[in-house]
Amino acid sequence: MKKFNTLSSRLTLAFLLVGILGIALVTTFHTRSTRHEFDRFVTEGRGHDFGDGRGDDFDDERGSRGDGFSSRGDRSQSENLFLRNVVRTSALGAVGAVVAALLVGAVLSRGLTQPIRALTAATQRMAEGELGTQVAVSGRRDEIGRLATSFNKMSADLAQSSQKRQQMTADIAHDLRTPLTILRGYMEGIRDGTVENSPQVIDIMYEEVTHLEHLVNDLRTLSLADAGQLPLDKQPIHPRSLLERTGLAYIMQAEQKGLALRIEADNALPEIHVDVERMTQVLNNLVSNALRFTEQGEIVLSAKLQDGTMLLRVRDTGQGISADALPHIFDRFYRVDQSRQRDTTGVASSGLGLAIIEAIVKAHGGDVSVMSEGENMGSQFVVTVPVQL
Ligand code: ADP
């Protein structure tokens, strides 16, 4: 059945149908009408024979020739009539075949042009800016059905990415505005003499500038990754060494919070080829998040080889992530608590951290995923990196 789902097989079938219809019509006309004409021709021919006044002897003589070909003049007249009728019958058959072909062609072309017209109208609407326009596929499985399905997907994807772009522009504007407003307020205060130009004020302003700088750097990293131009300086490193770099950077913070920070990595694991600075940035970000969202228990950094891929895990026993939030966690500017721009320790939260992690890991040919049993059940982030053995 699947074979008949293509346009070419449908067209072939339609042409075959037209051919069969044509043959059937011509044959039917011929067999019916020609037989009738032939019978008449024979009967009329005989009539001439019997009616010529030359008696039965002639007929006996002709015996086997009692076929209507009685005399030269009569024969040509009957023959002409017969032939004319045969030609007329053939012409009728041919006209019938043409009408049948036209009917089949009309039905077929309607079936073909209708969805194409719908697609053309939808493309025009999209060109006019109506992204997300859909066409009815109505269960077609042929090339036109597949074209319509691809069109619908492309249209929906375009609408989604346009909406994401708009949202991202709004998020960037929002994230830039907050530190800029703080900076402007302090600067105006100093200029007007209402705020003292003290070291504390300078510190606050410096912090806001640093935040702006981070934001701009993050956006630059993302745009480089989007363009596939994130520069990577890959070097061989043992996974344990990589985890230890992050472990050392955060052990003090973990201890201050009363959390255990452990590393689990077999010394026999093979080396991986990664940009050490960028991969450290990935792990640092994951551990920094784990510290922010874990109040008791432990944070475990582990490495494991599985099917030629190195799995680098950061697991915590913190507040976990709800099933609703999980699918969006890597989206740019996504924060579970959208209203919170800074966490309790004052660390600026842009919602770009995990998006950058994903971009860096993907640039290495790997992937990153998250698992969480739900709120207060902890979270586990797994970074995969291909191993060049
Ligand atoms: P942010 O800059 O806000 O930290 P991220 O992209 O790093 O942005 O994280 C997005 C959101 O994912 C955070 O706002 C937080 O709600 C959630 N999240 C990330 N890591 C964890 C974790 N280990 N435990 C619980 N929630 C987390």
SS3 track for the chain: CHHHHCHHHHHHHHHHHHHHHHHHHHHHHHHHHHHHHHHHHHHHHHHHHHCCCCHHHHHHHHHHHCCCCCCHHHHHHHHHHHHHHHHHHHHHHHHHHHHHHHHHHHHHHHHHHHHHHHHHHHHHHHHCCCCCCCCCCCCCCCHHHHHHHHHHHHHHHHHHHHHHHHHHHHHHHHHHHHHHHHHHHHHHHHHHCCCCCCHHHHHHHHHHHHHHHHHHHHHHHHHHHHCCCCCCCEEEECHHHHHHHHHHHHHHHHHHCCCEEEEEECCCCCCEEEEHHHHHHHHHHHHHHHHHCCCCCEEEEEEEEECCEEEEEEEECCCCCCCCCHHHCCCCCCCCCCCCCECCCCCECCCCHHHHHHHHHHHCCCEEEEECCCCCCCEEEEEEEECCC
Q: Whose CA is nearest to atom 22 of ligand 1?
A: 290
Q: Does residue 58 have a pLDDT over 80?
A: no
Q: So what's the pLDDT on residue 51?
A: 42
Least confident interval from 31-45, 284-298, 361-375: 31-45
CA of 287 to the centre of ligand 1 (A): 11
* Whether residues 116 and 242 fall in one domain: no
* Whether residues 239 and 366 fall in one domain: yes
Read off the pTM.
0.67
CA of 197 to the centre of ligand 1 (A): 36
State the average pLDDT for the chain: 85
Q: So what's the pLDDT on residue 342?
A: 56
Q: So what's the pLDDT on residue 73?
A: 52
* Whether residues 211 and 288 fall in one domain: no
* Whether residues 221 and 254 fall in one domain: no
* Whether residues 254 and 186 fall in one domain: no
Q: Does residue 296 have a pLDDT over 90?
A: yes
Which one of 55-69, 166-180, 241-255 scores highest in mean pLDDT? 241-255
CA of 227 to the centre of ligand 1 (A): 25
Q: Whose CA is nearest to atom 19 of ligand 1?
A: 289
* Whether residues 318 and 215 fall in one domain: no
Does residue 365 fall inside a structural domain? Answer: yes
CA of 349 to the centre of ligand 1 (A): 8
Question: What residues does ligand 1 touch, defined as CB less than 6 Å away?
Answer: 289-290, 293, 316, 318-319, 321, 329, 334-336, 349-355, 379
Q: So what's the pLDDT on residue 340?
A: 53
* Whether residues 220 and 244 fall in one domain: no
CA of 374 to the centre of ligand 1 (A): 14
- Count of domains in the chain? 3
Q: So what's the pLDDT on residue 368?
A: 98
CA of 298 to the centre of ligand 1 (A): 17
Top pLDDT among 288 and 26 is at 288
* Whether residues 51 and 111 fall in one domain: yes
Q: So what's the pLDDT on residue 137?
A: 76
Range of the domain at 61: 2-127
Q: Whose CA is nearest to atom 11 of ligand 1?
A: 335
Report the residue among 246, 339, 342, 354 best suited for mutation to probe ligand 1: largest number of ligand atoms under 8 A from its CB: 354
* Whether residues 374 and 254 fall in one domain: yes
Report the residue among 214, 285, 326, 329 best suited for mutation to probe ligand 1: largest number of ligand atoms under 8 A from its CB: 329
Q: Does residue 268 have a pLDDT over 80?
A: yes
CA of 319 to the centre of ligand 1 (A): 11
Residues 65-77 have a mean pLDDT of 52
Q: How confident is the model at residue 98 (pLDDT cuts 50, 70, 90)?
A: confident
Q: Does residue 104 have a pLDDT over 90?
A: no
Q: Whose CA is nearest to atom 13 of ligand 1?
A: 335
Q: Does residue 294 have a pLDDT over 70?
A: yes
Q: So what's the pLDDT on residue 223?
A: 92
Q: How confident is the model at residue 42 (pLDDT cuts 50, 70, 90)?
A: confident
* Whether residues 271 and 185 fall in one domain: no
Q: So what's the pLDDT on residue 154?
A: 95
